[in-house]
Structure 1
Amino acid sequence: MTPLQARQLEDRFHAVWTRAGGAHARDAYADLAGRYGEPGRHYHTLDHIRRCLRDLDWARSTIDTADADAVELALWCHDVIYVPGATDNEARSAGWIRQWGTGMATAGRIAALVLETVHDGIPASTAGRFTADIDLAALGCGRRRFRHNGACLRAERTDLDDQAYDAAERAFLRALLDSPRIFHTELFHARCEARARGNLAWRLAQPGPPGVTGIRR
């Protein structure tokens, strides 16, 4: 990310945070950016957030105006807490917005949207479906980017050896591939579903471990 992109990203956070009624935007961003910049992060970084925001901007005209800022803030916050292998990263990330968003009327709703990035079912709300789909949109990218993302995800899991990582990755990807739909909005289903399924099937057909794609946790 270039210095200009980093500055634009910070300015964008300040704007949406302030619109939502949040206080101490600069302090909140400093904490958020520091967490996304933690050593050992290779995929769950501000670059991932920037790509999510790009997909949000592409879809924004189809998202209810009343939902757009809540979805954006959920995307900003959804990986702010990331401990490799932990099962409560999303819950703790939801807690981050509750802590920093004190006085923000929509903080509870944003926290609920963050929890949709657990991807354990079909989100009940349209805003939740957009949040979940944008988080997974990278599965539908080109094969070269898909491979690069996988190498970054693998690099984060230093707690697992290659065999254990390969088994966990395959289980996660197989569950996605076996689901009736990966993407729950019509917009992202049309844009990403076929290519995502192609990428997942390709990875699962590769013999042996890793560095090709990766599990999210």
Structure 2
Amino acid sequence: MTPEDSLATLGLSPAITDEWIAQLSEPQRHYHTLEHIVAMLRNMPDSATTSRELIAATWLHDIVYDPTAVDNEEQSADQAACDLAGSDVAIEVVRRLIIGTKRHEPSEHPLDALMSDLDLLILSETPEAYQTYAAQIRREYAHVPEEAYRAGRAQVLRQFLQTPIYQTERFAGREDQARENLAWEIAQLQGR
């Protein structure tokens, strides 16, 4: 699905969606940009599971992004409620999908599982693309001292390795590459 098709499906005012694009271009963003949204949209299934709620959550899950904050998902969910008010998109579903990207915990709900998988697809890209992603994340967290960043980032990545990364059958085949990429970055962070 293209960004243009997705926005047409949502049917919101250009003023709202133009603001989304402006927010996704903010200077503190290096990975959490429009390019990330486009990658998620490109990998959405062409099926009934691709609901307007999933499309809206994809656009809005990182719409508020401050690397120094701990409540980006909650703020993004609040903006979603405001931006989608008056539409026939189920706001509470969108909020749930956005909040679910905070921890990417396993879900029995197929839409939540799909949202999580789409958000984590970068983990299973080619080693070169993954290395670019890792460097972009480091730039977003440039305010964190190197030693603290290495320890914190390695801890986050190790958590992904404790359970299956991908929850849907659609993306299960990407699991091995994701695990290889995560192991590579953890080794880099630990100076190996």
Scaled by the length of structure 1, the TM-score of the pair is: 0.81
The partner residue of 1:167 within 137, 147, 151 is: 151
Match of 1:183 in 2: 166
- Separation in structure 2 between the aligned mates of residue 54 and residue 67 of structure 1, nearest angstrom: 12
- Separation in structure 2 between the aligned mates of residue 208 and residue 143 of structure 1, nearest angstrom: 18
Matches within 5 A, 1:1-217: 9=3, 11-18=4-11, 22=12, 25-56=13-44, 59-61=45-47, 65=48, 67-105=50-88, 106-179=90-163, 181-190=164-173, 192-206=174-188, 208=190
Q: CA deviation at 1:97?
A: 1.0
- Separation in structure 1 between the aligned mates of residue 124 and residue 22 of structure 2, nearest angstrom: 28
Counterpart residue type for residue 89 of structure 1: N
With over 3 angstroms needed to count, the CA separation of the structure-2 counterparts of 1:31 and 1:187, relative to structure 1, is: same
Q: Secondary structure at the match of 1:60?
A: coil
Can you give the 5+ residue segments of structure 1 that lack an aligned partner in the other structure? 1-7, 210-217
Kept after mapping to 2: 8 A contact 1:119/1:132: no
Q: Which shifted more, 167-176 or 197-206?
A: 197-206
Kept after mapping to 2: 8 A contact 1:74/1:114: yes
- Separation in structure 2 between the aligned mates of residue 207 and residue 101 of structure 1, nearest angstrom: 40
Identity of aligned residues (%): 29
With over 3 angstroms needed to count, the CA separation of the structure-2 counterparts of 1:66 and 1:186, relative to structure 1, is: closer
- Separation in structure 1 between the aligned mates of residue 66 and residue 126 of structure 2, nearest angstrom: 28
Q: CA deviation at 1:119?
A: 2.4
Match of 1:212 in 2: none
- Separation in structure 2 between the aligned mates of residue 171 and residue 202 of structure 1, nearest angstrom: 14
Can you give the 5+ residue segments of structure 2 that lack an aligned partner in the other structure? none
Normalized per residue, the structure richer in helix is 1
Q: Secondary structure at the match of 2:68?
A: coil
Scaled by the length of structure 2, the TM-score of the pair is: 0.91
With over 3 angstroms needed to count, the CA separation of the structure-2 counterparts of 1:86 and 1:166, relative to structure 1, is: same
Cα deviation code 1:40-98 (max 9, x no counterpart): 21101001101111111xx334xxx1652211111111100001032211111111110
Q: CA deviation at 1:208?
A: 4.2
4+ residue stretches of structure 1 with deviation over 4 A? none
Q: Which shifted more, 47-56 or 120-129?
A: 120-129
Q: Which shifted more, 155-164 or 120-129?
A: 120-129
